[in-house]
Amino acid sequence: MSGRDVIAYLIRWRRRHLGDNQFLLLISFLVGIFIALAGLLLKWLIASIEHLLTRSFSLTDANWLYLVYPAIGIYLTMLFIRYVVRDDISHGVTQILFALARKQSKLRLHNTWSSVVASALTIGFGGSVGAEAPIVLTGSAIGSNLGRLFNMSRKQMMVLVGCGAAGAIAGIFKAPIAGVVFVLEVLMIDLTFTSLLPLLVCSVTAASLTFAVSGTSPVFEFHLQDAFQVSRLPAYILLGIVCGLIALYFTRTMNRLEGAFRRLDGRYRRFIVASVILSLLIYLFPPLYGEGYDLINLLLNGNGEADWAEAMNRSLFYGSGHLLLLYLSLIIVFKVFASTATNAGGGCGGIFAPSLFLGCVCGFVFSHLWNQYAFLGMHVPERNFAMLGMCGLMSGVMHAPLTGIFLIAELTGGYALFLPLMIVAVGAYLTIKAFEPHSIYAMRLAQRGELLTHHTDHSILTLMKMDSVIQHYDHVLYPDMTLGDVATQVSTSRNHVFPVVNRQMQFIGAVYLDDIRHLIFRTELYRQFHVEQLMAQPEARLSVVDPMDDVVATFDRTGAWTLPVVDEEGVFVGFIRKSTILSAYRQLLADYSTD
């Protein structure tokens, strides 16, 4: 029995014995197992490579191999992607958002493993990015491909893509609540309670398996320094605003740097420039190597200047404890350069870890400066504020305050500071929202009108494909044709509007049946009238690249019932009828809303 026969048998068996919702829960359980194993494998690969490469590094001197390893990692990743994968695997979360909006939730099969290998090479050799976005793409791809394997519906495919993402966050961060919240807030999937159950099943399954293998302790050890005090509310609010501004700097600088790298001609030129920038930054600031989790643990658990000075180990600044704040401030400035150079040069990684890293450093520097200058005559605990800064930066960069709150609480076990987490998260989110309407993941898709949102009407129009509502024509009219030629087409067609084009097939007008109905049966006029005398100009023209919400707006503005569609050069493509759009909208709305 072949593999296809086995799948066909399983599909028939489940249709006889399992309902759609039951089968969806079963598949979500399997997705949770697979993504937990993938996450554990990725973490083990990264840790093993990093340990192998850096175990002999001196703590008291700068290590010149920092100038070499990152470039090697990016080069190996670039070769792997070019010759093995042969596809773009960067910007993992953005790819998921695009798949949900434009590809019917379909992700390629290689996405189930390619990001694991590529990100392990990139980060293990020092790339200053995170493993979380690649593993989220991996999880969503696992859900998508399992859904395709069993011929599941469009709505079920969307849920399974969300399940993979939720399981990835839950597994790699040991944060099942944050996994579900991430899907609802960042991927912007609106679900009913019945559809929410698969997310919960997958998230809990992935987290439980990870706990069973790696223990139940949080990812970051954190010991509460001082309990929540109302008197510190001004400090919490100000930290949220500062985190929002740093998130704005991170977002805009990354976009501009990516644009600058795209303008460099040639893959290898980008690789050389990016490798030089990344290697120099890591040589000067070793905490930028990899995910930077060692520095996070240090700042969350340090007990004084002697402990914090360990941040400068393995660097030129070793033993210069009095320069700690300057050193960490420079890291805040240059982290975005290191992360962007890693991906732009050919590496593979996400911004989860950079957001956590940057937030932790930002919170520590903020609290240290507050205490140094005794603002408002009060002392604030550095460890608590380092943890709160992680929440603030993540909330700002991702435009996801709930994800930031629950993720940091589960990552660190810092539930006692839940109210400060909420204050900082909301402050950061509101601050960056005043300047940037979309997150770093969504802004490019939003500019192209390809982003799903929690606005159901906009989401349905985003899911609708232009080609699915265009009526294509096999026959067209030319200006020099006679009324008799028009009558011939009318007699063999059910259409009420006929396109008029020139010899280059460019649209120049339309003949409407209602306009010529009084002439069509008068055969004596067939040679007296030509199409150029009979045609009229439609109220507007649509382009094949117009987003569907613009198409609907054009129909509403003009009051038309039929409009022509042309390509970028004005070549006629077809007509769109308002009734066709309404029918497609109604069907998609039913698919989108049905459990």
Q: What is the DSSP string of 480-499?
A: T-BHHHHHHHHHT---SEEE
Q: In the prediction, which pLDDT does 488 show?
A: 84
Structure tokens at 44: 């083990």
467 touches 480 (CB < 8 A):
no
Give the pLDDT confidence score for residue 314 in this predicted structure.
87
All residues at 6 or more sequence positions from 63 whose CB lies less than 8 Å from its CB, including other chains: 54, 57, 283, 286, 314
Task: State CA 542 to chain mean position distance.
Answer: 29
Buried b (16+ CB within 10 A) or exposed e, 486-509: bbebbeeeebebbbbbeeeeebbb
**pLDDT, position 369:** 94
Residue 395 near residue 404 (C-beta atoms within 8 A): yes
Residue 443, phi-psi category: left (phi > 0), alpha (psi -120 to 50), beta (remainder): alpha
Write out the two tokens for 241. 């605003």
The residue type found at 343 is N
Give the span between the Cα atoms of 264 and 278, in whole angstroms: 17
pLDDT at residue 333, as a whole number: 96
Domains of the chain listed by start with CATH number: 458-593 (3.10.580.10)
C-alpha–C-alpha distance, residues 131 and 470, integer Å = 42
Number of H helices, E strands in the chain: 25, 6
Cα–Cα dist 361/358, whole Å = 5
Q: Are 31 and 160 in contact (CB under 8 A)?
A: yes
Rounded Cα distance between 424 and 401, Å, is 9
Q: Do strands 507-512 and 542-543 pair parallel, antiparallel, or not at all (unpaired)?
A: unpaired
Q: Any idea what the Cα angle at residue 27 is, between residues 21 and 33, rounded to 5°?
A: 140
For the chain, residues with pLDDT lower than 50 are: 450-454, 594-595
All residues at 6 or more sequence positions from 171 whose CB lies less than 8 Å from its CB, including other chains: 32, 35, 36, 39, 40, 135, 139, 179, 206, 207, 209, 210
CA distance 392 to 421: 8
Q: What are phi and psi of 64, to 5 degrees?
A: -65, -20
pTM, full prediction: 0.78
pLDDT for the residue numbered 190: 57
